[in-house]
Structure 1
Amino acid sequence: MGLVGILLALAVLVWLSFRGWSVLVLAPFAALLAALLSGEPLLAHWTQTFMGAAAGFLAQFFPLFLLGALFGKLMEDSGSVTAIADFMTEKLGPRRAVLAVVLAGALVTYGGVSLFVAFFVIGPMAQALFRAADVPGRLMPGAIILGTSTFTMSALPGTPSIQNAIPMPFFGTTPFAAPGLGIVAAAIMLGFGLWWLARAEAAARRKGEGFGEPTVAADAAAEDPLVRERATTAAAFDPREMRSGRRGTGRPRIVSATLPLAAVVLVNLTMSLVVLPRLDTAFLATDAWGGIALSQVSGVWSVIVALTAAILLLVALHWRRLPNLRESVDAGANASALPVLSVSSLVGFGAVVAALPAFTLVRDWVLSIEGGPLVSLAVAINVLAALTGSASGGMTIALGALGDTYMQLAAQLGIDPGLMHRVAVIGAGTLDTLPHNGAVVTLLAVCGATHRKSYFDIFMAGVVGPVLALVAVIALGSAFGSF
């Protein structure tokens, strides 16, 4: 009965969330349903298990959600994201419309700008380019997904995405875990995605298909309650806040627009590899600081410092283009609240499920998957990310339940934790991009597109390419170890 309860609770969570119900309500309800059917104490699981795990996630990752949303909002309001998009448009032009959109999305998201901020700014840029080049508008979502939601989210070393941060406390790694494998994976995702989109564009031209009639509908998407509910479990920015704050006039020069992005990467690298390893952090081992090792917090600390430095640099460079800094800061801070609470609730649900006696059956099944720990880790995260429609939620549930087990297996089998980290992150960014995913729903709404016309290209660029990269990383990591 306990296993039935787990499956039923997961089905209720998935089904009702697809219908637009808030995860803040669904997650504790589903967790209590699983506990009830397992004969476990309900109130104890809600206040001790559920809230303990949710609060733990909030304590670890709220600074990253807050700083990431704030940085993205300031980049938007200062005109920096628009300046980068315009620069790509001018340099590559309509003849390379797809490449311009992909590279613009990759540049801003690898530099730390929130995925959804990129959607709302790059959507209009893509429409102008595709219309000028007479490229089918149905390909816009696929190009934007490739640039913003694949290799810069999960593969490139040092990416400040929340997905790349989540495994760090579990595996004691940094944002630069398995850098060589990450670069290989990024090349596969980018190469496959560009090949597919070029093929689709060529096929459309042979048929005489032009731009068509899709219209960017960013304002409507930002106000859509269904988009909001799904979006806040899939990324770290509440789309409702896209229309808050106050935007400056004009646009900055490309150098000053990109300097804060460069600061994120460079400061992150310096903190991870140079500064933190040289600090005296023996105090962390005392009871007053939780009795932890530096490796459990160094990755998060690196990203915190990097985003803080980038925000300060951005304000210093563009304060004249931020007509009301307080409003922009408020909007960015508010944009982080609902996403971090939504993902925390998913984590609480996963903690209750993991605490139930019947979960041992699930754990044993996952660990028995042939191919070794890397394969079983990838499968577990893929399944949960697909069901929840959230890369961050699916990965945190899986690692919260099985992270210690995988670390023990890694120690026994001599597997580098950095390899486990990279497999986990890339695995989270594959099947999460199914039709119900909040990022997919939001992007289609922004582009004025539909699942029927645009999802297949999103699937090829956002699912098939990352799956190929994941297979390659597991194969290379199994054969040669982490590099």
Structure 2
Amino acid sequence: MDIVGVLLALGILVWLAYRGWSILLLAPFCAILAALLAGQPLLANWTQTFMRNAADFVAQFFPIFLLGALFGKLMEATGSVSAIASAMTERLGTKRAILAVVLAGALVTYGGVSLFVAFFVLAPMGHALFKAADIPQRLMPAAIALGTSTFTMSAMPGTPAIQNAIPMPFFGTGPFAAPGLGIIASVIMLGFGMWWLTRAQGGAVRAGEGYNYSGASATEAISRDETIRERGAAAHEFDPSEMERGGHATTSPSAGIAALPLVAVVIVNLLMSFVVLPRMNASFLAEATWGATSLSAVAGVWSVIVALAAGIVTLLVTNVRNLPGLRGIMDAGANAAVLPILSVASLVGFGAVVAGLPAFEQVKSWVLNIEGGPLVSLAIATNILAALTGSASGGLTIALDALGPTYMQIASQIGLNPELMHRVAVIGAGTLDSLPHNGAVVTLLAVCGVSHRDGYPDLAVVAIAGALVALTAVIILGSMFGSF
């Protein structure tokens, strides 16, 4: 009955979340339902297990959510993202329209711009490019997803995406964990995705299919569907409703100036990870005042925080004369972080309640006994949870909350490098999270004005199939050569 209760609670969570119900309501309700069916104390599970674990997640990761959302909002409001996208379009031209969209998305998201900000800026650019090149608009969501939601989210070493930050406190790793494997995985995802999209474009040309879109703009599409905000907020770190709030610059900076904040994020992240923090005397962290922790447990998060802060400062300095209504922009950026982190934290609280139920021991035993070793079982666990929750960050945190210490114990026994586990876990969470009910998928299709029926098949190939191929390669190479 315990397992049935867990599955029932999870099924209700997934079904109602897809229909647009708030995770802030669903997660505690479903957690209490699971506890009730397991015969466990209800209020204790809510206040002592659910809320404590949700609060721990907020305490660990709110600075990254806050600075990431603020940075993304400022990049959008100053016109910096548009400037970069336009420069990429001019350089590559309409003959390489798909590649221009992919690379523009990759550049801004690897530089720290929030996913949803990239969606809203790239969609109009994509429509203009695809129309000029007479490419079917159904391929546009896949092109945007390939650049924003695959290798720059989970594989590229140093990416400031929240998914790359989540394993760091669990495994004592940094944002550049397993850099060689991450680069190989990135090349596979990008190469596979471009091969598929080029093939699909060729098929469309032979069939006489071209661009024929005449629908609503991105803003109009979002405003018509109130459920998108709830779906999207649990999937990534930016509240879509804040996109149109705050002021906007009347002129855009040059592409070079626009790219400076992105360069600052990457360079500062690199310096913090390999130069500054390794030389820091952080013995004081062992004291109870500072949480009785260690530098390895917080260094990765610190690196990303400082990098995003450096990007924000660089952006403000280079655009100081081009920011009307700065307070409104900053407020919108800060507000954009609140609903996403509380939504993901609620998923984490739900996972903590489920992990504390007696039935979870059976699930844990099944996962750890999957044939292929700990890397395979870790990949499967993160895949399944990300798929069920429709959130890479939520599924990854639930998996590591429940199984992270066990995997670290296994790693120490067999000599497995935690950096390898980090990269496998992040790539694993970024595969099946792109199922049709994922909030980012729903938002992207709506922003592009493309239906699930038309746009999802190609999106699934580039975001799921390509990522699974890369994940398999990382597991095989990691098993043969270790982390590099």
Q: TM-score range by the shorter chain?
A: over 0.9
Aligned to 1:39: 39
Q: Is 1:27–1:346's contact at 8 Å kept on the other side of the alignment? A: yes
State the partner residue of 1:76. 76
> Letter of the aligned partner of 1:200 in structure 2?
A
Superposed CA offset, 1:159-181 (max 9, x none)? 00000000000000000000000
Decide whether the 8 Å contact of 1:78 with 1:247 is kept in 2.
yes
Partners of 2:86 and 2:364 in 1: CA distance: 49
Q: RMSD of the TM alignment (CA)? A: 0.8
Say whether 1:302 aligns with 2:311: no
Which residues in structure 2 correspond to 1:189-268 (within 5 Å)? Answer: 189-213=189-213, 215=215, 217-223=217-223, 224-268=225-269
Hey, what does 1:392 align to over in structure 2? 393
What's the CA shift for 1:293? 1.0
Amino acid at match of 1:13: L
Q: Which runs of 5+ in 2 are unaligned?
A: none
What is the match of residue 463 of structure 2?
Answer: 462
Where 2:243 maps in the other structure, the secondary structure is helix
Alignment-derived partner of residue 163 in structure 1: 163
Task: Judge conservation of contact 1:222–1:243 (CA < 8 Å) in 2.
Answer: no
Name the TM-score, length of structure 1 as normaliser.
0.99
**How far is the alpha carbon of 1:220 from its aligned partner?**
2.2
CA–CA separation in structure 2 for the residues paired with 1:38 and 1:377: 26
What do residues 409-441 of structure 1 show as CA deviations (whole Å, max 9, x unaligned)? 111111100000000000010000011111110
Tell me the CA shift for residue 222 of structure 1: 3.4
In the alignment, structure 1 residue 479 sits paired with structure 2 residue 477: no
Query: Any runs of at least 4 consecutive aligned residues in structure 1 with deviations exceeding 3 A, and if so which?
Result: none
8 Å CA contact 1:167, 1:173 repeated in 2 = yes
CA contact (8 A) 1:214 1:447 kept: no
Trace 1:439-458 onto structure 2 (pairs within 5 A). 439-458=440-459
| Deviations, residues 342-384 of structure 1 (Å, cap 9, x unaligned) | 0000000000111111110010010111000000000011011
* Matched residue type, 1:253: S
Aligned length: 483
6-15 vs 49-58, greater mean Cα deviation? 6-15
**Could you say which residue in structure 2 is the equivalent of 1:115?**
115
State how far apart, in whole Å, the 2-side matches of 1:193 and 1:16 are: 32
C-alpha deviations, 1:221-253, integer Å up to 9, x for none?
332311111000110000000010110011101
* SS in structure 2 at match of 1:432: helix
Give CA deviations for 1:133-161 in whole Å, capped at 9, x if unaligned.
11111110010000000000000000000
Retained in 2: the 8 A contact 1:374–1:423? yes
Cα separation, 1, equivalents of 2:49 and 2:461: 39
Shift of 1:6: 1.1
- Offset of 1:308 from its aligned partner? 0.5
Residue equivalent to 2:291: 290
2:350 matched to 1:349? yes
Alpha-carbon distance in 2 for matches of 1:173, 1:243: 37
Q: Where does residue 104 of structure 1 map in the other structure? A: 104
User: 2:89 maps to which residue?
Assistant: 89
1:59-74 matches, within 5 Å, as 59-74=59-74
2:248 alignment partner, SS class: coil
Partners in 2 of 1:216 and 1:416 — Cα distance?
49
In the alignment, the residues of structure 2 paired with residue 418 and residue 339 of structure 1 have an alpha-carbon distance, to the nearest angstrom, of 27
CA distance in 2, matches of 1:113, 1:185: 21
Q: Does 1:139 align with 2:139?
A: yes
Residue type of the alignment partner of 2:302: W
Counterpart of 1:122, as a letter, is L
Q: Alignment partner of 2:52: what SS?
A: helix
Please state whether the residue corresponding to 2:432 is helix, strand or coil: coil
Aligned twin of 1:52: 52
Counterpart AA for 2:97: A
Assess if the C-alpha contact under 8 Å between 1:221 and 1:227 holds in 2.
no
Aligned to 1:23: 23
Whole-angstrom CA distance in 2 between matches of 1:59 and 1:216: 39
C-alpha distance in structure 2 between counterparts of 1:175 and 1:217, whole Å: 36
Rounded Cα–Cα distance in structure 1 between residues aligned with 2:215 and 2:158: 35
CA 222–244 in structure 1, closer or farther in 2 if over 3 Å, else same: farther
* Residue in 2 that maps onto 1:316: 317
Contact 1:215–1:447 (8 Å) recurs in 2:
no
1:80-125 C-alpha deviation (Å, 9 max, x unpaired): 0000011011111100000000000000000000000000000000
Say if 1:218 and 1:445, in contact at 8 Å, map to a contact too.
yes
Cα distance change on mapping 1:60 and 1:213 into 2, 3 Å? same
Could you say which residue in structure 1 is the equivalent of 2:130? 130
> 2:376 maps to which residue?
375
Aligned-residue sequence identity (percent) comes to 68
More displaced stretch, 228-237 vs 215-224: 215-224
Aligned equivalents of 2:393, 2:368: Cα separation in 1: 21
Does the 8 Å contact 1:31/1:353 carry over to 2?
yes
Residue pair 1:127, 1:216 contacting (<8 A) in 2 also: no
Counterpart Cα distance in 2 of 1:220 and 1:333 = 23
Distance in structure 1 (CA, Å) of the matches to 2:273 and 2:32: 40
User: 1: CA distance between counterparts of 2:221 and 2:442?
Assistant: 9
CA contact (8 A) 1:127 1:215 kept: no
SS of the equivalent of 1:249 reads coil
Alignment of 1:182 onto 2:182: yes
User: Over residues 156-208 of structure 1, what are the superposed CA-to-partner deviations in whole Å (9 max), with x where a residue is unaligned?
Assistant: 00000000000000000000000000000000000000000000001111111
The alpha-carbon deviation at position 271 of structure 1 amounts to 0.3
- Is the partner of 2:36 in helix, strand or coil? helix
Equivalent position of 1:325 in the other structure: 326
Residue number in structure 2 paired with 1:335: 336
SS state of the match for residue 248, structure 1?
Answer: coil
> Which residue of the partner structure matches residue 412 of structure 2?
411
For residues 43-75 of structure 1, give each alpha carbon's deviation from its aligned partner in whole angstroms, at most 9, with x where no partner exists: 111110000000000000000000000000000
Structure 1 residues not aligned, in runs of 5+: none
**Letter of the structure 1 residue corresponding to residue 85 of structure 2:** A
